[in-house]
A = this chain, B = another copy of it.
Amino acid sequence: MSKFDKPLDGAAFDQIFRQARTYNQFADRPVEDSVLRELYDLMKWGPTSANMSPTRLVFVKSAEAKKKLEPVLDEGNREKTMKAPVTAIVGYDMEFYEKLPFLFPHTDARSWFAGKSDEQLEPAALRNSSLQGAYLIIAARALGLDCGPMSGFDNAKLDEAFFAGTRVRSNFIINLGYGQEDLFPRSPRLAFDEAARIA
């Protein structure tokens, strides 16, 4: 039976959802490798279809790796990304099914996917890697980090620079650090009745 049937406190809601914001500028404070490992050890628990966990991450942190990232970014995303303490590349492995005998051992889930075309595999890989990207954003916030997620880059060029020789494809990227800037007022959201209904 679930032990967790009470809401978290309001400060936690503020930190992970209500007052969390997308940041473009970060304080001059490093993000330790140990924090990146803690981050993975939280986000990995989020659910995916058949536990397929297709996400493959590169935490771009060194000057050398940053240099490789810079030219694949849209021009408007370059300066802020070069200045961010870390940029997480959220990719997905098109051969995710090779891990299913380990990840989903109670049945032959590999056979549901092996041999299928890229076109057939892509929606499941993209869906579940996006779920995991969102878990990463919320886990980062829960750890006291701030995020600047982006889709503005050349996916094919990024894949060539970071995933050559593999079947991993980039999904989106996330600048990570401790947010520091005067933010614009928050963009609006759709009201419940515009986005949802109870049937």
Q: Which chain A residues have a beta carbon within 8 Å of chain B's beta carbons?
A: 1-8, 12-23, 27, 33, 36-37, 40-47, 49, 51, 53, 55-62, 64-65, 99, 102-105, 123-124, 126-128, 130-135, 137-139, 141-147, 149, 151, 162, 171-172, 178-181, 187-190, 192, 194-199
User: Does the CB pair B188–A149 fall under 8 Å?
Assistant: no
| A1 CB → nearest B CB, Å | 5
Chain B residues with CB under 8 A of A187 = 51, 103-105
Instruction: Supply 13 A–B pairs (Cβ within 8 Å), ascending by A.
Output: A4-B146, A17-B42, A17-B135, A20-B45, A33-B198, A40-B192, A41-B192, A44-B190, A53-B189, A58-B199, A99-B194, A128-B130, A134-B134
- Contact among B20, B42, B46 with A134 in the assembled complex (CB-CB below 8 Å): B46
User: Does the CB pair A5–B59 fall under 8 Å?
Assistant: no
Determine chain A's interface SS by DSSP, over half rule: mixed
Closest 7 CB pairs of A and B: A134-B134, A130-B130, A2-B179, A65-B199, A57-B196, A44-B189, A131-B134
How far, in whole Å, are A199 and B43 apart by their CA atoms in the complex? 19
CB-nearest residue of chain B to A99: B190
| A120 CB → nearest B CB, Å | 13
| A28 CB → nearest B CB, Å | 12
How far, in whole Å, are A62 and B133 apart by their CA atoms in the complex? 33
| A59 CB → nearest B CB, Å | 5
- Contact among B44, B192, B198 with A61 in the assembled complex (CB-CB below 8 Å): B198
Beyond the given pairs A20-B45, A138-B138, 11 more chain A to chain B contacts, judged by CB atoms under 8 angstroms and listed by A's residue number, are A4-B20, A8-B15, A13-B42, A17-B45, A40-B195, A46-B134, A51-B187, A53-B190, A53-B195, A64-B199, A126-B126
